[in-house]
Amino acid sequence: KAGVTQTPRYLIKTRGQQVTLSCSPISGHRSVSWYQQTPGQGLQFLFEYFSETQRNKGNFPGRFSGRQFSNSRSEMNVSTLELGDSALYLCASSSFAGGGNEQFFGPGTRLTVL
């Protein structure tokens, strides 16, 4: 079974631009969560989608948004990029929504904002 895939793996953008990252969960998984990892803050939860609905949201500004498609693939969008948005963005999938589920992570997208 293929794992979680994320595209692109690397991105370089400039301040003020916007970016869209994509995540394809493990086949059959319907829940997708997004996390931001930075050296200073570590891993922080962005949001979770299940059946095309956002179920939970972390403490991030409205510039960070996401969506999920009927095939469970998810995208996250960051508008008006700031230098502080430079990070590794990780998505995780689990078989269904609910607190007891094991999360499987993708390789991440490394975003650099210049």
Contacts with another protein by CB under 8 A lie at 4, 6, 33, 35, 42-45, 48, 56, 58, 88, 90, 92, 98-108, 110
Radius of gyration of the chain, Cα coordinates, nearest whole angstrom: 13
Q: Which is nearer to another protein, 4 or 78 (CB)?
A: 4
Q: Which is nearer to another protein, 12 or 15 (CB)?
A: 12
How far apart (Å, rounded) are the C-alpha atoms in residues 20 and 54? 17
Q: Which residues have a Cβ under 8 Å from the Cβ of 9 and sit 6 or more positions away?
A: 107, 108, 109, 110
DSSP annotation of 29 reads: -
Q: Which is nearer to another protein, 35 or 64 (CB)?
A: 35
Decide: 49 and 25 in contact? Cβ < 8 Å: no
Residue 21 Cβ vs another protein, minimum distance, rounded to whole Å: 13
Residue 16 Cβ vs another protein, minimum distance, rounded to whole Å: 27
Residue 23 Cβ vs another protein, minimum distance, rounded to whole Å: 11
